[in-house]
Amino acid sequence: MTKMTVKYLGELRNEATHLPSSMQIITDAPLDNKGKGLSFSPTDLLCSSLATCMITIMGIYANEHGVNIDGLEAELIKTMAQNPRRVAQVDINFKFPKVNYSEKEKIALKNAALNCPVAKSIHPDIILNVVFNY
């Protein structure tokens, strides 16, 4: 169990605090939903959470098996739907460092990513397109 707080700051801006570390995240409503778009929106955080969770779980695998993924990057595209307004699709493009991964390592990294806790928590109606560029 982890405790967090969220405080509404006005003008569609929130401040989320992770109580164990005191780290904070600011969210803003996006431009297309009456906001200023000056920071991550809540749906941006959903998509970013997915990618960071996938990378974290791949990192755990990599650490346990002596595989180097240092420098791994992910590019994300979020597509929204209307009626109801929701995340409809998330495209993630993983760019791995120039390492000669074995087929076994590639499969294990992909399986680790696709089975991370956030991926398993996302509604099945959200289309996930994940590309692994080794």
pLDDT by residue (tens digit) across 54-92? 999 999 999 999 999 999 999 999 999 999 999 999 999
53's enclosing H/E stretch is helix 42-65
pLDDT band at residue 130, thresholds of 50, 70 and 90? very high
Contact (Cβ atoms closer than 8 angstroms) between residue 47 and residue 40: no
User: What number is the average pLDDT over the span 16-20?
Assistant: 98
Q: Is the pTM of this model over 0.85?
A: yes
